[in-house]
Amino acid sequence: MAEARTVETLQYNLSRELDLLAAEALKNDLLELLNSDGNLEISADDVERVSTPCIEVLVAASAAFGETGRGFHIRNPSDAFCDAFGALGLAHRLEMWRAS
């Protein structure tokens, strides 16, 4: 009988301020996690401000994780986080990522 393989969940906490200056560091952190095994779960409950470049990084990371057959989830998105996605017409994308 084949043994079930447990998939590791990688945890990442977003910072309060995801402004333009944070985009490069966010990209580098997510690239590092992409090179690790496991699904990614991002905690967004502390986010107070998020810029469009940071949202672009998250969308790209989601695509990259999907291309490798791994999950990409957002847990507990703050109101500010949800509002930023909604303002860009990406609320549906956030709903796809939402972890229960």
In a domain, 2, yes or no: no
- Radius of gyration over alpha carbons of the chain, in Å? 14
Domain that holds residue 45: 10-97
Amino acid of residue 92: H
In a domain, 1, yes or no: no
Cα–Cα–Cα angle for 27, 58, 8, rounded to 5 degrees: 85
In a domain, 52, yes or no: yes
pLDDT of residue 6: 59
Average pLDDT of every residue of the chain: 93
In a domain, 5, yes or no: no
The total number of structural domains in the chain stands at 1
pLDDT of residue 85: 97
Rounded Cα gap, residues 71 and 62, in angstroms: 8
Mean pLDDT of 93-99: 90
In a domain, 68, yes or no: yes
Rounded Cα gap, residues 37 and 21, in angstroms: 28
Token code pair at residue 38: 């496991």
